[in-house]
Chains A and B, each alone.
Chain A
Amino acid sequence: MKPSRRSFLTGAAAAGVGSVAATVAKGQTAPDPAITELQDWQVYLGDGVDAAPYGMPSKHESHVVRRTVEWLTADNVSSINFTPLHELDGIITPNGVCFERHHGGAAEIDPAEHRLMINGLVDKELVFTMEDLMRFPRENHVYFLECAANTGMEWAGAQLNGCQFTHGMIHNVMYTGIPLKLLLAEAGLKTNAKWILPEGADASAMTRSIPIEKALDDCLVAFKMNGEALRTEQGYPVRLVVPGWEGNMWVKWLRRIEVGDEPWHHREETSKYTDLLEDGTARRFTWEMDAKSVITNPSPQAPLTHGPGYTVLTGVAWSGRGTIPRVDVTLDGGKNWHQARMSGPSLNKSMHRFYFEFEWDGKPLLLQSRAHDSTGYVQPTKNQLREWRGENSIYHNNGIQTWYVNEKGEAENVEIS
């Protein structure tokens, strides 16, 4: 990226490059050419209204993209990428940068050829077309979807340098969908209906067992995200929404829901998504995502470039068990904590935005955030979690994250005593 003349003159880093300015001149000695010189966009006409029927971000934002970590998986089809959390604000994740996790790639489905079947312990086994589904009553809800493996690479210590990589297996969007209980009522549940098995239409035919209580509570069969059709990679034309629970259960390209009286113990709830403890036994059915937070700015991919002075710290927090009424922030590695300022809507099982503004004296910082959820649960440290689980459980790492910020404003992923 070519820095603009202005940033070159003042020495400020070009956005997204990650170099850090030593100082920023407060007093302007020479007139600023950004003001005194006529710029192209002041002279020449811009694009017409038909230039982009579906708009894309400014070319100056081309670094705000999903990124992958190639060595994490055997290939890029059964794999993961990461949301650029450090570039976002507020709580809604733009559809184009919502992280992806596939097990058989992103299925391309013609909605006219898509069917949703309900079978098993029901009075009437049913088949719905997309047209049928559009005639059910709908609801709108904002929920986070967090991969169970988010932050999983950090169990044994600080490994990846950036909140995109340590915390980016998450997105938070508004879903429009049908309450699952309405679809189940249409088929009629038998009295011994205790579990459901949603299944995907893709080449991995993803399945998970979900207790009927959750299915009848707040699950949705969603066809829109942030107002538009689901993206292909997010399950177009329909996906399951399982609020607060691990992302693997949010079956994409949903083609079938079987109703049964026992769980199925399929691959994604035995071999995977079970949490191995130190004694060699493993937890199964660890569905809820516990309260968690991360400071997104400053962070390794978003250094402080302005030098000492008034500084905005921001981040996100979420809980699968409720809302986030409070986030604490420390600048000194946990010696002293301050309550952050929550901003924007506080929604159940959704991402929350927090800010903490402070006067930076230019000395090194050890930054942490600590979420409190509406049940009274307080986000634990990584070491507290390790005391309960050891280091091999892979999933459900909601431990407190530390960023070390040096005198230059560069940030690094560290662990502290």
Chain B
Amino acid sequence: LEGITFDLGREALPEEVAAWNIDIRPDGQGLPVGSGDVWTGEEVYIENCAMCHGDFGEAVGRWPVLAGGWDTLTHEDPVKTPGSYWPYLSTVWDYVHRAMPYGQAQSLTDDEVYAITAYLLYLNNLVDDDFELSNENFTEVRLPNEDGFFMDDREEGEIPAFSEEPCMENCKDSVEITMRATILDVTPEEEEAEVTEA
């Protein structure tokens, strides 16, 4: 079937592509014309976001934390926020626009998304309170952990290490149980516990 086409489907109209083509890239590709400042962002955020994410991005209950967590990535319980972990601001704009508020997705205007993004930058101590974010200055903003990521390197290290023929007989002198799930006792129908996110 190589090289064959079937003349199926139809050409997409420009309005149809525009309606669905909402994705943003780190280099700003896809950003609509618009702007929003920190104080407008605070108003929009308090109205649409704070009930789950807290007035200052600190989160209510189990909902995601959106601010802080600096220097916790090496801790036992890292706090991953746009300020502490996310590499690109474009991801904030794209995700808020495509999927938030949770249960009311795609209800925010472009300017509201700019404003919320500006407010989240402010909550993460990355801009001053008079900051205005727009499609013009968007790519000038860099997040602290941009260089914190690297391409999957399992092929270089782990895979060779785990590709040796393993021991089959008399591999150990003794075996001890070092941890038991029943001690923790958090399997369903049991009480709640603080754990890693799924």
Given contacts A203-B99, A258-B21, A417-B178, whether A159 and B195 have CB atoms under 8 Å apart is yes
A283 to chain B, nearest CB (A): 5
From 153 to 182 in chain B, residues with beta carbon under 8 angstroms from any chain A beta carbon are 153-154, 157-159, 161-172, 174-182
Contacts of A370 in B (CB 8 A): 166
A57 to chain B, nearest CB (A): 21
Asked if A54 is at the interface (CB within 8 A of a chain B CB), the reply is no
- The stretch that binds A, out of B32-40, B86-94, B118-126, B127-135, is B86-94
How far, in angstroms, from A75 to B198 measured CA to CA in the complex? Answer: 12
The interface size bin for chain B is 35 or more
Are B90 and A124 touching (Cβ within 8 A)?
no
Asked if B196 is at the interface (CB within 8 A of a chain A CB), the reply is yes
Contacts of B188 in A (CB 8 A): 67-70, 165
Partner of A126, one of B12, B90, B162, B196: B12
How far, in angstroms, from A160 to B183 measured CA to CA in the complex? Answer: 10
Are B9 and A126 touching (Cβ within 8 A)?
yes
Are B8 and A159 touching (Cβ within 8 A)?
no
Are A284 and B86 touching (Cβ within 8 A)?
no
Are B168 and A375 touching (Cβ within 8 A)?
no
Are B196 and A394 touching (Cβ within 8 A)?
yes
How far, in angstroms, from A91 to B27 measured CA to CA in the complex? Answer: 44
Measured CB to CB, the nearest residue on chain A to B192 is A71
28 contacts between A and B (CB under 8 A): A73-B198, A74-B62, A78-B102, A104-B99, A104-B102, A118-B12, A119-B20, A125-B12, A152-B196, A157-B184, A186-B5, A203-B103, A266-B91, A266-B95, A267-B91, A270-B91, A280-B73, A281-B148, A283-B154, A284-B150, A333-B175, A377-B159, A377-B162, A378-B165, A412-B180, A414-B179, A416-B175, A416-B177
Identify which of B8, B78, B169 gathers the most chain A CB atoms within 10 Å of its CB: B8
How far, in angstroms, from A267 to B195 measured CA to CA in the complex? Answer: 22
Asked if A360 is at the interface (CB within 8 A of a chain B CB), the reply is no
Contacts of B149 in A (CB 8 A): 270, 274, 281-284
Measured CB to CB, the nearest residue on chain A to B61 is A74
Asked if A392 is at the interface (CB within 8 A of a chain B CB), the reply is yes
Partner of A270, one of B87, B154, B187, B198: B87
Contacts of A416 in B (CB 8 A): 175-178
How far, in angstroms, from A415 to B182 measured CA to CA in the complex? Answer: 12
Given pairs A152-B198, A333-B175, A337-B168, 9 additional interface contacts (CB within 8 A) = A103-B99, A155-B196, A205-B99, A264-B94, A267-B94, A278-B74, A336-B170, A378-B162, A416-B178
Contact with B along A250-266 (1 / 0, CB 8 A): 00000110101010111
Contact with B along A223-254 (1 / 0, CB 8 A): 00000000000000000000000000000000
